Amino acid sequence: MTATRDFTEVVKAALLVLTGLFPIVNPLGNSPIFLSLTTGYSTEERISLARKIALNSFWLLTGSLLIGSHILSFFGISIPVVQIGGGLVVMSTGWTLLQRDPAQARENAENRVRPQDLSTRAFYPLTLPLTVGPGSISVAIAIGAAEAPHPSGIVRLLSALVGAVLVAVTVYLSYRFAERIAKFLGETAMNVIVRLVSFILLCIGVQILSNGVRALLNSQK
């Protein structure tokens, strides 16, 4: 009976992680940006990047869920400060993409793509802040803190792992097949989508920064 109850708790908590993080991670919406930032990369290199990004996302989300609040407490960093710093990074990424010339970006990428670049770019900026940004991290920390009082540490660990795996799988699938979707839509449509999503990314960065500033000011009262 206890095992059944624990299994139910794991499923419920894992679904909570998935439903809480998926809309913020938003791998489907980030796919055009992924393609734009990997201009000049081959299909095989993009598949490899999708795998690395999914794995990096899993570790970042799992760490945030399980020990994120403890790490912030150790360094004396509050979630509003994380939001402010992350919002600035997201804004910078969105602005850079808005100003980017597709033809020039393709030419530059073709000249500099090297195998050793994959691991570096897989983490920054493709995992952090594009895929798992400050919003995702702060939500994961909040979910992890809410689940911390659970009497069974194993249940908490399993729910965090399963939830993070589910999110990482959606990231991999979205980025893995992003190129096929782009070919179906055509270059003109993708350029329009990239510009639109870049602007939305810039707005998200402003919103994250605004939320962080507001929360920080309220905490000082």
Give the model confidence (pLDDT) of 142-157 as tens digits: 777 765 545 467 877 8
Closest Cα partner for 143 from 21, 10, 6? 21
Q: What is the pLDDT of residue 63?
A: 93
Give the model confidence (pLDDT) of 161-192 as tens digits: 999 999 999 999 999 999 998 888 887 887 78
Domain count, the chain: 1
**If 0-12 CB within 10 Å is exposed, 13-18 middle and 19+ buried, where does residue 171 land?**
buried
Domain extent, residue 135, equals 2-219
Amino acid in position 202: L
Query: For 57, what's the count of Cα atoms within 13 Å in the CB-facing half-sphere?
Result: 34
Q: What is the pLDDT of residue 104?
A: 55
Q: What is the pLDDT of residue 99?
A: 81
The stretches in the chain having pLDDT less than 50 are: 111, 149, 151
Q: What is the pLDDT of residue 58?
A: 97
Q: What is the pLDDT of residue 96?
A: 82
Closest Cα partner for 175 from 8, 32, 25? 32
Closest Cα partner for 135 from 85, 97, 98? 85
